[in-house]
Structure 1
Amino acid sequence: MISAPVISAPPATAGRHPAGEGARLGRGAVPLVAVAHGSRDPRAAATVEALLERVRQARPGLTVRSAYLDHGPPTLAQALHGLREAVVLPLLLTEAYHSRVDLPAALAEARARDSLLRVRYGTTLGPHPLLLPALERRLSEAGVRPGAPDTALVLVSAGSSDARANAVIADLASAWTARPSWAAPGFHEGGAGRWWEVVPAYASAAGPTPAEAVASLRAAGAPRVAVAPYLLAPGFFADKVRRDTLAAGADVVADVLGPSPELVEVVLERYTSALRHEPVRVPA
């Protein structure tokens, strides 16, 4: 069994970088190689590239390369080609099979090509406090007032065979229910209250399904039901979630997270956190 060094990113204030590190985020900085899952749907790669283009715009001069674990090039080994050092960052919203197994395997392939390669290994994008404002941004764009007390939410992730990853989504839904809207200023006008309820759902590998969660909320008397996809990019899961939840009685389905400003901040924060650690050689 191969394994990669998992470096937990310490908490940091979003959008702020420690003294001395800011300069490293521009020209001459350690390159960033962002690794997404990959999809047969071309919209997924287009969304990943749009996110990374916004990262480049936010940090001019920073070399940012994309890689995909499946369904198309470049592979991680191809993206790392020619680099002596890099920050490898998983563009994944939970830590599960892909970050624990697939990515270490891809790193091992890269080492087979270049035994001198050193990497700083970042953590997955989620969980992160900025992802709730990002979700509320997408809901607001779909016409849902953040924290609307007459609206119940279904928080939908792709789902995993790893119970720990699913528990992260359940905890996120509980946190979202328990406090007022997380939305940052500028999303909407007027005060925000508390959602009617927020429940988790999973597009695969676990239950309830998104359609079951919508039906359950309707049966419980929710006046309005909105669906918030905790998904990075469009594709099979996003399309299925939209189709099934609307058929089950959802009023609104928000867009995927995509290249939101919050995700750009999270990517840069994870990158900066990885820079605090010494590089390590890719495990064999």
Structure 2
Amino acid sequence: MTAPPLVAVAHGSRDPRSAASIAALLDVVRASDPGLDVRAAFLDLSAPRLPDVLSALAADGHREAVIVPLLLGSAFHARVDLPALVAEAHARFPRLSVSVSDVLGPDDRLSAVALRRLVAAGARLDDPSLGIVLAGAGSSHAPANEAVAAVAASWARRFPVAGVRAAFASTADPDVPGAIAALRAAGARRIAVASWFLAPGRLPDRVASLAGDAVVADPMGDAPKLASLIVDRYLATAAVAAA
């Protein structure tokens, strides 16, 4: 039986670097499993939009599809936007069965990629004078912010640094300057900012602009560990759908 297509759904951005980064990540997914039909889609701001991708699948005669949300946490887009679009697709294309996997987080591979990007930017995780800010998007949904804070807390336990604080680019507190100030008050003499973002865009740029002279890591991008996480989310959901 032919495996259902994997529809990887990202948020979308007006910044073309974002879609290009998602495309590069999905190229890594395809390279890891050449037989898998991988389609990119976006919730907003970038093309192709998810309804258009599902419409094309239905028009081609596909009976199944598995959506993997390229979202780091379960915030508004995962809890509201995506289910609404899937419900609309079920109504429009009753012969197309659409399953949705869990979001990417929490998973240790996300933490590993963010740390690798941080080290690549020049941060030393054995520096007792270093303060680390883990910067994410921020959400009105408190559990999504708490998930980022939990990663920061795990780093604080793991590495002999001056401290690790979560911070957010919008909506939630603390912001990046607030987290940096708290780390300096706790004795940090150097600051490094880790990126809890998949791709470049407005919010990562805002984080960098607020970081002052701190080392700032790149977003997670096209890391192979991310590709393996996407495939694992797909396989788990496809197995349940086929049972």
Range of TM-score over shorter length: over 0.9
Count of residue pairs brought into register by the alignment: 238
SS in 2 for 1:276: helix
State the secondary structure of the residue aligned to 1:137: helix
Distance across 2 between alignment mates of 1:71 and 1:147: 40
Structure 1 gaps of 5+ residues are 1-23, 181-193
Are 2:227 and 1:264 equivalent residues in the alignment?
yes
Counterpart in the other structure of 1:34: 8
Q: Which residue of 1 aligns with 2:84?
A: 105
Q: Does 1:204 align with 2:178?
A: no
For structure 2, which runs of at least 5 residues remain unmatched after alignment? none
Is the CA contact (8 Å cut-off) linking 1:90 and 1:124 kept in structure 2? yes
SS in 2 for 1:89: strand
- The equivalences for 1:1-284 within 5 A come to 28-80=2-54, 81-82=56-57, 83-180=62-159, 194-246=160-212, 250-278=213-241
CA contact (8 A) 1:76 1:110 kept: no
Task: Find the residue that maps to 1:74 and give its secondary structure.
Answer: coil
Question: What displacement does 1:279 show?
Answer: 5.6
Q: Deviations over 1:222-267 (max 9, x none)?
A: 0211000101111110111001112xxx420010111112211111
Does the 8 Å contact 1:119/1:279 carry over to 2? no
Residue identity matched to 1:271 = Y
Deviations 1:172-207 (A, max 9, x none): 111111124xxxxxxxxxxxxx33211110111110
Q: Secondary structure in 2 aligned to 1:232? A: coil
SS at match of 1:44: helix
CA contact (8 A) 1:120 1:279 kept: no
- C-alpha distance in structure 1 between counterparts of 2:242 and 2:21, whole Å: 29
- Structure 1 residue identity aligned to 2:25: L
Superposed structure 1 runs of 4+ greater than 4 Å apart: none
Q: Which moved more, 1:82-91 or 1:105-114?
A: 105-114
Does the Cα contact within 8 Å between 2:162 and 2:183 map onto a contact in 1? Answer: no
Quote the sequence identity (%). 47
Indicate if the aligned counterparts of 1:125 and 1:270 stay in contact, CA closer than 8 A: yes
Superposition CA RMSD, Å: 1.6
Q: 265-274 or 56-65, which moves further after superposition? A: 265-274
SS in 1 for 2:7: strand
Per-residue CA deviations over 1:33-58 (Å, capped at 9, x if unaligned) read 01000011111111111100110011
Q: Which protein has the bigger helix share?
A: 2
Tell me how far apart the structure 2 counterparts of residues 151 and 232 of structure 1 sit (CA, whole Å).
24
1:274 to partner: Cα distance: 1.0
Residue 66 of structure 1 deviates from its aligned partner by: 0.7
Q: Is this contact kept in 2: 1:77–1:113, CA < 8 A?
A: no
Using the size of structure 2 for normalisation, the TM-score is 0.93
Which residue identity lines up with residue 172 of structure 2 in the other structure?
A
Counterpart of 2:205, as a letter, is D
Q: Which amino acid aligns with 2:31?
A: Q
Q: Is the 8 A contact 2:117 2:220 kept in 1?
A: yes
